[in-house]
Amino acid sequence: MQLRNTEIAADPRRIHRLGEDCADQIIRAQEKVSMHRRLLEELDRLPPAQRKAVYYCGLGGLRPAELAAMEGVSAHAVSARLYRGIESLRRALTQPPKETE
């Protein structure tokens, strides 16, 4: 919806609401970026096998059997790595962020 200057000038409450809406959108976007950055940091902390399983199967849509064939391991092993990786990420992301020095 486009507003004309005359419409905004006619209703100062509308300006206030628009400002609040914009501020809320900015805050939500910043929180999303912060969570995305934190997810990537925690993903980097996983052991390589778990990180690969989470990345390819959890995020990339590859089936555990497909990754297993590429890695030369069983699908069960990939599923276990995926489960452990997701659980590690869940625990890490529900904790307050670690302070960096």
71-101 residue pLDDT tens? 999 999 999 999 999 999 999 999 886 665 5
> Is 1 part of any domain?
no
Residue type, position 6, single letter: T
> Is 69 part of any domain?
yes
The CATH number assigned to the domain holding 65 equals 1.10.10.10
Range of the structural domain that residue 53 is part of: 7-94
Number of domains in the chain: 1
> Is 100 part of any domain?
no
For the whole model, what pTM was predicted? 0.67
Percent of the chain with pLDDT over 70: 76
DSSP secondary structure string for all residues of the chain: ----HHHHHH-HHHHHHHHHHHHHHHHHHHHHHHHHHHHHHHHHHS-HHHHHHIIIIIIT---HHHHHHHHTS-HHHHHHHHHHHHHHHHHHHHSPPPPP-
> Is 99 part of any domain?
no
